[in-house]
Chains A and B, each alone.
Chain A
């Protein structure tokens, strides 16, 4: 049986190989917030847009707060087709057509405000 210490070491190596996030690659990450009245298909609609543009979802938190669908996503747009502004406009248009509030911002601003 592998010892806990050994497992920790392997985990550390894996993390190192995966690449610990640093300032340089944070520049290509965005935070996406989606808020609206809950119904089936909200997440599918948003993620389809991301998939079509080859924007890569890194993290998702989704919950229902008082009947409101609220979703926060961290997305990497380094390999994305189109510019940040293109994506933002497409998501905002999707939001307007589906009564959703969709906010898109670079992740860097959140790190600046919450991390030393």
Chain B
């Protein structure tokens, strides 16, 4: 059946006035064959392999963008966790690898490279521990490198030793980049139930079970959802709202999958997954907060917010799962405060609190995302916040994440600016109730008994 002009106009306006874009095409590269006892050799092999495999990624993405008329906002790389392929190095000095990966990413023109990562949900290996302790140096010495640490899973529980350590690491990252409001923390994610095929930063790594290479796509499109809800009007019931979001999510996902497949074809790598996460940007009208408010919650963060986000999250998955058989990654709504102008505004007005964001974690993915907090927040409090978020993931069999920035020298109510996609926002207040005695106990929080499924 030929296209009718209504369909043509709908797509054109989704792209040209509603910010429909592809948030990221992320090429995963397995670096396990780059292991070497000499850290410098390991770094060189990794950089060479990335440049060989991903040499055409950026020009191809630009070409596809031109031909299909849909902007590809970021091109990214995800690699095998450095703590895996770097474990053979003697000494365990990962800094040369961090710098080589960052330089390779810069020379290829990709925006971010993820995989400076360790998975320590049960225990920390010697290499994992060394990698985690090197994160502040690695992030301070690089610009595109992203780090992530998995501290828990529904199968094995929460590693409280690792969580306590991450509280101190985050504080150290902020201190190392004090001049830029602690910006290194924006490139560091702490996960529970991390996934091996996430294309979104800062938490992307190319995990166990993935192929030699694979190209994944992260969709965007809050603006298109918002426009559809505004067309629907304020009087239709929430089943109609869900149906409308589902239909738009289908279209956004189909666009994302097509773009991803075409990029993969042209650079000659397998197509991997489509991540069905609606990713906002700081641009006006490209906000998850606006969608919640279009549903009828006066200000995002007020009563009704959790219910509205639950509806949005599920409707996006329904439409997306119908559109692609390749759903993967995180596939849940993101609510990164600094990257979403409306959420940032509501947070600065005091309508959206840290506690509400914690509650929202129950119905979306990555609950405490791009949250700036006072620079004097104790590392034990950061760790306890991580534990709270991870516990939601633990109990609900889902991925949760924390990307929190204790902005040096800043107090609640001040502002931070990171620029670009990372945006900016208010410094949110954190409870002063002490968590140090709880965090200091260490050990592990056991998995829920429901995890024993076999």
A: which residues have CB within 8 A of B? 21, 31, 33, 59, 61, 72, 74, 84-85, 88, 103-115
CA distance A108 to B2 in the complex (A): 12
CA distance A21 to B3 in the complex (A): 12
Interface contact A113-B68, CB-CB below 8 Å: no
Contacting residue for A104 out of B3, B7, B16, B69, CB 8 A: B69
Given contacts A103-B16, A112-B257, A113-B254, contact A59 B2 (CB under 8 A): yes
Please tell me if B454 contacts chain A, counting CB pairs below 8 Å.
Answer: no
Chain A residue at minimal CB-CB distance from B1: A115
Contacting residue for A114 out of B3, B66, B257, CB 8 A: B3
Interface contact B5-A109, CB-CB below 8 Å: no
Question: Could you tell me the distance in whole angstroms from the C-beta of A35 to the nearest C-beta in chain B?
Answer: 9
Interface contact A74-B254, CB-CB below 8 Å: no
Question: Could you tell me the distance in whole angstroms from the C-beta of B309 to the nearest C-beta in chain A?
Answer: 25
Question: Could you tell me the distance in whole angstroms from the C-beta of A12 to the nearest C-beta in chain B?
Answer: 16
Please tell me if B70 contacts chain A, counting CB pairs below 8 Å.
Answer: yes
Contacting residue for A113 out of B2, B11, B66, B67, CB 8 A: B11
Interface contact A103-B255, CB-CB below 8 Å: no
Chain A residue at minimal CB-CB distance from B5: A61
Which 10 residue pairs are nearest across A and B when measured between Cβ atoms? A105-B69, A113-B251, A112-B258, A112-B254, A114-B7, A61-B5, A109-B68, A113-B254, A72-B8, A106-B67
CA distance A103 to B70 in the complex (A): 11
- Main DSSP-derived SS at the A contact region: mixed
Please tell me if B238 contacts chain A, counting CB pairs below 8 Å.
Answer: no
B: which residues have CB within 8 A of A? 1-3, 5, 7-12, 16, 63, 66-70, 251, 254-255, 257-259
- B residues in contact with A59, CB < 8 Å: 2
- A residues in contact with B69, CB < 8 Å: 103-106, 109
- B residues in contact with A31, CB < 8 Å: 3, 8
Interface contact B70-A107, CB-CB below 8 Å: no
- Main DSSP-derived SS at the B contact region: helix
- A residues in contact with B8, CB < 8 Å: 31, 33, 72, 110
Question: Could you tell me the distance in whole angstroms from the C-beta of A88 to the nearest C-beta in chain B?
Answer: 7
A-B residue pairs in contact (CB < 8 Å), sample of 23: A21-B2, A31-B3, A33-B12, A61-B5, A72-B5, A72-B8, A72-B9, A85-B63, A85-B66, A85-B67, A105-B68, A106-B67, A109-B11, A109-B68, A109-B70, A109-B255, A109-B258, A112-B255, A113-B7, A113-B11, A113-B255, A114-B10, A115-B1
Contacting residue for A110 out of B11, B16, B63, B67, CB 8 A: B11
CA distance A104 to B8 in the complex (A): 12
- A residues in contact with B68, CB < 8 Å: 105-106, 108-109
Interface contact A110-B66, CB-CB below 8 Å: no
Interface contact B258-A114, CB-CB below 8 Å: no
Starting from the known contacts A31-B8, A85-B66, 15 additional A-B residue pairs (CB-CB under 8 Å) come to A61-B5, A72-B5, A74-B2, A85-B63, A88-B66, A103-B12, A106-B68, A108-B68, A109-B11, A109-B68, A109-B69, A109-B70, A109-B258, A111-B3, A114-B10
- A residues in contact with B66, CB < 8 Å: 84-85, 88
Chain B residue at minimal CB-CB distance from A73: B8
CA distance A108 to B67 in the complex (A): 10
Interface contact B3-A110, CB-CB below 8 Å: yes
Contacting residue for B251 out of A21, A108, A114, CB 8 A: A114
- A residues in contact with B254, CB < 8 Å: 112-113
Question: Could you tell me the distance in whole angstroms from the C-beta of B4 to the nearest C-beta in chain A?
Answer: 8
Chain B residue at minimal CB-CB distance from A30: B67
CA distance A109 to B70 in the complex (A): 9
- A residues in contact with B5, CB < 8 Å: 61, 72
Chain B residue at minimal CB-CB distance from A85: B66
CA distance A103 to B258 in the complex (A): 19
- B residues in contact with A113, CB < 8 Å: 7, 11, 251, 254-255
CA distance A28 to B294 in the complex (A): 39
CA distance A109 to B8 in the complex (A): 10
Q: Which of B66, B251, B255: most chain A Cβ within 10 A?
A: B66
- B residues in contact with A110, CB < 8 Å: 3, 7-8, 11
Question: Could you tell me the distance in whole angstroms from the C-beta of B65 to the nearest C-beta in chain A?
Answer: 10
Question: Could you tell me the distance in whole angstroms from the C-beta of A89 to the nearest C-beta in chain B?
Answer: 10
- B residues in contact with A114, CB < 8 Å: 3, 7, 10-11, 251
CA distance A111 to B255 in the complex (A): 9
Q: Which of B3, B68, B70, B255: most chain A Cβ within 10 A?
A: B3
- B residues in contact with A109, CB < 8 Å: 11, 68-70, 255, 258-259
Contacting residue for B67 out of A72, A84, A103, CB 8 A: A84
Question: Could you tell me the distance in whole angstroms from the C-beta of A108 to the nearest C-beta in chain B?
Answer: 6
Question: Could you tell me the distance in whole angstroms from the C-beta of B276 to the nearest C-beta in chain A?
Answer: 15
Chain A residue at minimal CB-CB distance from B16: A103
CA distance A10 to B281 in the complex (A): 55
CA distance A41 to B227 in the complex (A): 34
CA distance A107 to B3 in the complex (A): 9
Question: Could you tell me the distance in whole angstroms from the C-beta of A68 to the nearest C-beta in chain B?
Answer: 12
CA distance A115 to B3 in the complex (A): 9
